[in-house]
């Protein structure tokens, strides 16, 4: 079964999020067309769908934030934490983002830097271009900055600890809530040698760009059809395959798809990814 869903578009102070596949309570996407028309993603899946799939269009900088891991999120909020990844689809000249620490700091340093409005001074700043990938495990401080249009794949969770928001008001004119103290105990204070995912692009073949306990994601740059064998996973309970179109258009086993859309396949033995000339896809399982 291949299903299309009615997306949920969210307008925020910094831009928009298009939730194309969501099982988040109160924000569940529904099937459009076919035998499952009108069913929510969770109804179709038979429980809470484990991933939330978005397209994010950042016109301005997002807040500096961090997400708790599963254990802390369950203890504090009764839900999952949030590990996620970004794939840059389009970027404005000079676009950048923040991900990870550029120098070692302590919890006390963190609190002081936030109070002084200087937390960005210790964050790794990355210039970005289309095709760049960043994997963000729970606990990594990050912020998407203005001029980035990207695909985001994450655990099904809407828990965000907002650390610093540039003292700007929300859409209601009031300051947005900060979670500076809550974030202190979930931040990963280690400095890593690299935060950007390196991979070798290939034509007409899947290239793995992320793999963790929650999802495995490949990118396909297609100018000709490719068949994906799903027979090994089709018999596994709870298995699924998500296709996100990033650029161009085409079809997935005959179901049309174009840039900015996502399809969900459940129980399929194989999928034929067919571009109309050229198409870039992310696939997630």
Query: What single DSSP character describes residue 156?
Result: S
Cα-only R_g, the chain: 19
The token pair that represents 53 in the structure block = 């799939």
Active site residue 162: yes
Provide φ and ψ at 225, rounded to 5°.
-65, 150
243-268 CB burial, b ≥16 within 10 A, e <16 = bbbbbbbbbbbebebebbbbbbbbeb
Q: HEC profile for 53-68?
A: EEEEEECCCCCEEECC
The CA distance from 34 to 3, in Å, is 8
The token pair that represents 132 in the structure block = 């760049």
For residue 3, the tally of other CB atoms under 10 A from its CB is 23
The CA distance from 173 to 164, in Å, is 17
Angle (CA) 163-178-143 rounded to 5° is 35
CA 127 to chain CA mean position, Å: 19
**Of 39, 76, 140, 162, catalytic:** 162
Q: How many residues does the chain have?
A: 285
The CA distance from 203 to 280, in Å, is 10
What are the catalytic residues? 162
């Amino acid at each position: 079964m291949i299903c299309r869903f009615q997306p949920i578009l969210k307008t925020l102070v910094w831009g928009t999020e298009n939730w194309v596949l969501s099982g988040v309570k109160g924000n569940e996407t529904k099937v459009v067309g076919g035998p499952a028309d009108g069913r929510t993603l969770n109804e179709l899946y038979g429980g809470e769908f484990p991933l939330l799939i978005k397209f994010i269009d950042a016109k301005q900088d997002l807040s500096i934030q961090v997400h708790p891991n599963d254990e802390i999120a369950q203890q504090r909020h009764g839900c999952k934490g949030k590990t996620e990844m970004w794939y840059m689809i389009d970027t404005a000249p000079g676009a950048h983002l923040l991900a990870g620490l550029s120098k070692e700091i302590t919890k006390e340093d963190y609190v002081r830097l936030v109070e002084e409005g200087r937390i960005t001074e210790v964050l790794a700043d990355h210039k970005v271009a289309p095709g760049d990938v960043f994997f963000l495990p729970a606990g990594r401080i990050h912020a998407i900055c203005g001029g980035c249009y990207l695909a985001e794949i994450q655990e099904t969770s809407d828990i965000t600890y907002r650390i610093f928001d540039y003292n700007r008001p929300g859409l209601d004119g009031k300051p947005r809530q900060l979670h500076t103290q809550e974030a202190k105990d979930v931040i990963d204070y280690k400095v890593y040698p690299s935060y950007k995912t390196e991979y070798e692009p290939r034509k007409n073949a899947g290239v793995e760009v992320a793999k963790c306990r929650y999802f495995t994601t490949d990118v396909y740059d297609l100018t000709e059809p490719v068949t994906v064998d799903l027979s090994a996973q089709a018999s596994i309970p709870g298995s699924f395959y998500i296709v996100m179109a990033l650029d161009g258009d085409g079809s997935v086993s005959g179901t049309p798809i174009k840039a900015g859309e996502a399809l969900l396949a459940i129980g399929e033995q194989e999928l034929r990814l067919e571009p109309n000339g050229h198409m870039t896809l992310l696939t997630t399982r």
